[in-house]
Amino acid sequence: MGFFTGETAALPSYETALKLAGALVSSAVVLRTVSDTLVPDSVTDYLRLRIRKISTRLSSQVTVVIEEFDGLNPNQIFEAANIYLGSKLSTSTQRIKVNKQAKEREFTVTVDMNQPLVDLYENVKLEWVLVSSPVKMSVSSKKRDNGGASSRSELRYFELSFHKKFREMVMNSYLPYIFQQGKDIREEKKTMKLHTVDYNGTDYWGSITFDHPATFDTMAMDQETKKTLIDDLDKFISRKDFYRSVGKAWKRGYLLYGPPGTGKSSLVAAMANYLKFDVYDLDLKEVQCNSDLRRLLIGTSNRSILVIEDIDNSFETGEDDKVTLSGLLNFVDGLWSSCGDERILVMTTNHKDRIDPVLLRPGRMDMHLHMSYCSFSGFKTLAYNYLKLEEHHMFGEIEELLKKVQATPAEVAGELMKSQDAEVALQGLINFLMNKATTGS
């Protein structure tokens, strides 16, 4: 089992307990002195563990044991506790463990073996300690397992000790709190990934670190549209219980449409950075058939954005073995919807009128966002991003030109990047806009 509790059925007399406790303290002092010089750490740790267990039996404490694995499956409350306690380490902690995964940016800090750590929750003192016990396996069992998960030489587990009168509070309130805190800390420190189709891999997805700098603050888009989108995202991620209560999959669809250069891809990056969601970039023309599409969709994770760009050009005609529109719709509505939570589907197009109407109905594309040409408010965002300007005497002329000229945010940004001198850059933008007004291109 993942965790269990234990209490002592009968306690010795007060006098006996007092004498034994005194003897234990004396033994502990002697043991510490000897252990520092002669006794190996493994033996010292074992003796300390035995003494702690004896002391626990003599008290009114309850100990909850949270094992690392439930059979062959990782115990999620163990993982959450490991993350949570790593955030609670103090300068008085004698030993800590630090590691770094290959594709992660930050170090992971966790408690080391046999290092007691006291946590306070609702003014209740709770003591944690990570311990382990050896696992004995026969030679034949090791050969059958081929060095897999069940061939571990030790079993790690947390012991959580507290006064028995707080047992109900710990089980019903504290442990759920630990579980949620571990999840929140993991998401906060998460290194986001960009996944693309990779038929050379084992799961059809290859990934790299997602490091796009776009945020909603840097997006040169209509302010009202931006606010509407942010409010919708906030509502979506906060409505898990609502989606379950109405029997709908916890997913949301967005269609981004508008001419090239209006920031559709950057907006996807801003959404991902805002939510801390992984991004799965799916080019349907790279997918060989509907069965491969099914496997790719199943391989996406929770809290992710699936992006299909240029959806109007994604389906080949006259090729029976390629991905079909009906295949995409069946998987998105059915299998993909039912195999995870907090999924966002974003489709982009330069030509909304070319999209089959069946793709656009609510439940598939819930919100349609028009990515328009650069407005004056969008220009001011770009001027601050590139030149750190909030006002300038040339802004009025630029505002009047943008009312007459269709320039994309990408075009405006390109002009502002040409010089760090504000006068030079703004004059260059004015010349560019005047030329577009004259030539109509």
pLDDT tens digits for 94-136?
777 787 766 666 677 788 888 889 999 999 999 999 998 887 6
Same domain, 287 and 406: no
The region of weakest confidence among 99-103, 147-151, 411-415 is 147-151
Are 240 and 359 found together in one domain?
Answer: yes
Two structure tokens written together for 46: 């074992």
280 within a domain of the structure (yes/no): yes
Among 199-208, 214-223, 353-362, where is mean pLDDT lowest? 199-208
The answer, yes or no, to whether residue 72 has pLDDT greater than 90, is no
Q: Is 319 part of a structural domain of the chain?
A: yes
Give the DSSP letter string of 274-324: HHT-EEEE--GGG--SHHHHHHHHHTPPSSEEEEE-SGGG---SS-TTS--
Structure-derived torsion over alpha carbons of residues 287, 291, 292, 297, reported in degrees to the nearest 10: 100
Give dist(CA 338, CA 350) in Å, integer: 30
103 or 158, which is more confident: 158
Clarify whether residues 390 and 282 are in a common domain: no
Same domain, 254 and 131: no
Q: Angle at the Cα of 262 (from 260 to 268), degrees rounded to 5?
A: 105
Q: What is the separation, in whole angstroms, between the first and last Cα of the chain?
A: 70
Question: Are both 267 and 217 inside the same structural domain?
Answer: yes
Tell me what pLDDT residue 410 has: 94
Total number of domains constituting the chain? 3
Residue type present at position 297: L
Q: How confident is the model at residue 329 (pLDDT cuts 50, 70, 90)?
A: confident
Residue 286 domain-assigned (yes or no): yes
Q: Is residue 147 part of a domain?
A: no
Residues 77 and 183 in one domain: yes
Q: Does residue 145 form part of some domain?
A: no
Residues 271 and 317 in one domain: yes
Among residues 373, 301, 379, 314, which one has the least CA distance to residue 348? 314
CATH classification at residue 261: 3.40.50.300
Tell me if 158 sits within 8 A of 129, measured CB to CB: yes
pLDDT recorded at residue 148? 46
pLDDT over 80 (residue 294): yes
The per-residue pLDDT for range 74-84, each reduced to its tens digit, is: 899 999 999 99
Residue that terminates a domain, selected from 127, 162, 188: 188
Residue 42 lies in a domain: yes
Check if the beta carbon of residue 180 is closer than 8 Å to that of residue 81: no
166, 292: one domain: no
Domain encompassing residue 397: 376-439
Last residue of a domain, one of 355, 370, 385: 370
**Residue scoring higher pLDDT (433 or 144):** 433
Residue 146 lies in a domain: no
d(CA 77, CA 175): 8
Mean pLDDT of 15-30: 58
353 and 424 housed in the same domain: no
If asked whether residues 95 and 7 sit together in one domain, one would say yes
Q: Percent of the chain at pLDDT above 70?
A: 78
The pLDDT of residue 21 is 57
Give pLDDT, residue 10.
46
Max avg pLDDT among 20-34, 51-65, 246-260: 246-260
Residue 9 has pLDDT above 50, yes or no: no
**Does residue 320 register a pLDDT over 70?**
no
Element (H, E) at 39: none
Q: Is residue 146's pLDDT more than 80?
A: no
Looking at residues 406-418, what average pLDDT do you find? 95
**pLDDT band at 279, cuts 50/70/90?**
very high
Burial class, 209, CB count within 10 angstroms (exposed 0-12 / middle 13-18 / buried 19+): exposed
Same domain, 344 and 210: yes
Q: Which of the four pLDDT bands, split at 50, 70 and 90, describes residue 323?
A: confident
Distance CA 42, CA 129 (A): 16
The average confidence (pLDDT) of the chain is 84
Mean pLDDT calculated for residue range 241-256 = 90
Q: How sure is the predictor about 164, in pLDDT bands with cuts at 50, 70 and 90? A: very high
Instruction: Report the pLDDT value the prediction gives residue 274, as an integer from 0 to 100.
Output: 95
Report yes or no on 142 lying in a domain: no
Q: For residue 430, give the amino acid letter.
A: I
Please classify residue 13 by burial: count the beta carbons closer than 10 Å to its beta carbon, then call 0-12 exposed, 13-18 middle and 19+ buried.
exposed
Does one domain contain both 112 and 210? no
